[in-house]
Structure 1
């Protein structure tokens, strides 16, 4: 009989990497996972902010096992450097948490629209590079952070050009939705491929609902007043990364979609289009310049 979704086991002896863990959802997740006994690496673009986050966690947990490592997901060279340094150490949990939301159009150093570079392509490359470490762990788990905004996202064919993006007709919010659709599709496709290859990796997706984080800075303050706290919003990805009741391919989010206790959630039908997911995988491989073979 499957264990219940709300089962949060001890994580003693396990190692986790959380991207964007210096604030918001990532910080709250690091706080909980370290309290459960995990060794947690905060993979962050700003290591000064990362060190400050470690200090905050240690005010609650003086003996927490924490590390801060530099990682810029919008720069594939930074991703490669990070994964090269992590490959030989077993990894049990990878939480692809970091993201940016609806900025003006810009390109990453690799020529990819900045939201797609950070939210999807960088995490795809990170997961690929950390695969050896995940396989050395005690059954690796990968959590990809999506959003209810994936509903406004779309791909026509998920070609390289479509994934890369252009300033022609650029809509910051629609593009954000598309990147979060990509995150969900990646989580589901990784699960399918891992199961087909009989590889012991559990890939799940999560979304926080409506949570007050740094992503919402500059938004409608009255509307943000109604948002869940970051600690409450983080519950979905905490459950996704720890629950023994998950076997892979689940999407965890608040019961009322934007508020409430976490439950298994169903995304938009396009997220489950396997041929489109296969095309997205191939296009992302081309953009990162190497294959992600399981």
Structure 2
């Protein structure tokens, strides 16, 4: 196994390196649909003989299409689908209950990849009244992960992966105004940044709370800038790109003076998903943020202190418990 991977590492390379680790494992991927990073991840992992791939998403038609595409190349792979609407706390609870109470043939989930999310929509709130990105990107994954935790902790090598972003640079957690004064001060990029910071802090909390007693590993990651359906509603050539760079300049981020994006192909973009899910050499860095299939270096990579703070992680955990109305006292 190579000592070091980099931005050019591909998913297929890592599947080959981790094949013996992936074999026989059950992996749950949220946000798996055709043309998404979750879909690419599932397609690649099918080549390594997992016990089961669980595809979770809010659109059953897209889940079935993704399943068909995977089985066209890997006809013997076992795939299950799960309707999961992370924008709704009740919908998320229902999906978790389906796994825990009804899926008796799947007693263990070895790896959970919280890949689903939304990016920079116009202001809106969830059915529960939370800003849409905070609801879908954080509160949904928070309660879903915790409600299926009993099956994750039955694994002999449990891992949870939070797909975050270097967009966390755009905002720390706005603990007293996560809803942007009911939209009056809303900036879609700042809101996106807040939700991605939340992903990183959640991984850190999970590592802090569950590593010692249960051996859980949890990591967050930035996959890179990839043209998938996540950003299909955005104008990357003009308005939305300029809005992002303007926000960066206002915050003093180096990214604000860019004039183009360094896009990755999906095969490279999903590589860090595999690194976070299976690399055996990063256990001593539990809770870390990963980029380009390595542990992020704050001297080189975009990495803000508000997203790596144990104090902020615990604050967010307690706020999240309050907002979803349930405590998870590990």
Question: Structure 1-normalised TM-score?
Answer: 0.90
Aligned to 2:59: 46
Greater shift in the superposed pair: 84-93 or 235-244: 84-93
Larger radius of gyration: 2
**2:27 aligns with one of 4, 9, 16:** 16
> How far has the Cα of 1:164 moved from its partner?
4.7
Aligned to 1:250: 288
Say yes or no: does 1:272 pair with 2:282.
Answer: no
Is the 8 Å Cα contact of residues 115 and 176 (structure 1) preserved in structure 2?
Answer: yes
* CA distance in 1 between partners of 2:186 and 2:45 (Å): 38
Is the 8 Å Cα contact of residues 9 and 242 (structure 1) preserved in structure 2?
Answer: no
Aligned to 1:130: 148
**2:218 aligns with one of 197, 203, 206:** 203
- Unaligned ranges ≥5, structure 1: 255-261
Deviations 1:161-215 (A, max 9, x none): x3355312000011101100110111112111113x5222111111111111112
Is the 8 Å Cα contact of residues 143 and 205 (structure 1) preserved in structure 2?
Answer: yes
Is the 8 Å Cα contact of residues 187 and 203 (structure 1) preserved in structure 2?
Answer: yes
> How far has the Cα of 1:155 moved from its partner?
2.5
* CA distance in 1 between partners of 2:97 and 2:4 (Å): 36
* CA distance in 2 between partners of 1:44 and 1:203 (Å): 21
* CA distance in 1 between partners of 2:116 and 2:91 (Å): 14
* CA distance in 1 between partners of 2:29 and 2:179 (Å): 25
Is the 8 Å Cα contact of residues 163 and 284 (structure 1) preserved in structure 2?
Answer: no
Is the 8 Å Cα contact of residues 188 and 204 (structure 1) preserved in structure 2?
Answer: yes
Aligned to 1:290: 326
**1:58 aligns with one of 56, 68, 71:** 71
CA separation of 1:273/1:216 partners in 2, compared to 1, >3 Å: closer, same or farther? same
Is the 8 Å Cα contact of residues 225 and 261 (structure 2) preserved in structure 1?
Answer: no
> How far has the Cα of 1:152 moved from its partner?
0.9
Aligned residue pairs, count: 282
Question: Structure 2-normalised TM-score?
Answer: 0.80
**1:186 aligns with one of 189, 202, 216:** 202
* CA distance in 1 between partners of 2:131 and 2:44 (Å): 33
Aligned to 1:25: 37
Greater shift in the superposed pair: 58-67 or 91-100: 58-67
Over the aligned positions, Cα root-mean-square deviation in angstroms equals: 2.1
Say yes or no: does 1:155 pair with 2:191.
Answer: no
Aligned to 2:46: 34
- Unaligned ranges ≥5, structure 2: 6-13, 242-259, 298-302
* CA distance in 2 between partners of 1:8 and 1:164 (Å): 41
Q: Secondary structure at the match of 2:49?
A: coil
Segments of 4+ moved more than 4 angstroms? 3-7, 221-226
Aligned to 1:258: none
* CA distance in 1 between partners of 2:179 and 2:139 (Å): 9
**1:140 aligns with one of 153, 158, 170:** 158
Q: Secondary structure at the match of 2:92?
A: helix
